[in-house]
Amino acid sequence: MSYLILVLVLGGLGGAYLYWPAYRLGLSLALGLSYFLWGVLVHKNQLHWQIVLEYFSLALLGVSLLIFMGLRA
């Protein structure tokens, strides 16, 4: 169930990113933040700073790529 939510949220935000170019900056941040929060919530019972950092760094890398792509497009 949690994976379905993740796919729907990220897929929806990804689609919106492609469809509404004017909101790419906000949607990039929303996509990264959603992924990070999903990771934190899913691991809430065994949350460790290493796991938090892992989700954070991956989300930040994704956001950076999307922001730069949006700026170049």
Partner 1 sequence: MSLLFHLFLPHSSNNYKAKTLHVSSLSALMLLVMVSQILITIFSRAVPGVLGIATSITVQELIDLTNSKRQEQGLPALAVNQTLVQVAQQKAADMIAKNYWAHTSPDGLTPWTFFKSANYKYLYAGENLARDFSDSTSVVNAWMNSSTHRENIVSNRYREIGIAVIHDTFQGQPTTLVVQMFGTQVSSAPVVAQKQVTKTVGQITEAAEAVLAEIQAPPLPVIDSFSLTKAVSISLTLILLTVMVIDAVVITRKRIVRLSGKAWAHLVFLGILLLVIIGIQPGLIL
Query: Tokens in use for 60?
Result: 């930040």
Question: Does position 44 bind partner 1 by CB under 8 A?
Answer: no
**CB of 60 vs partner 1, minimal distance in Å:** 6
Question: Does position 1 bind partner 1 by CB under 8 A?
Answer: no
Binding site for partner 1 (CB under 8 A): 3, 6-7, 10-11, 14, 17-18, 21-22, 35, 38-39, 42-43, 48, 50-51, 53-55, 57-62, 64-66, 68-73
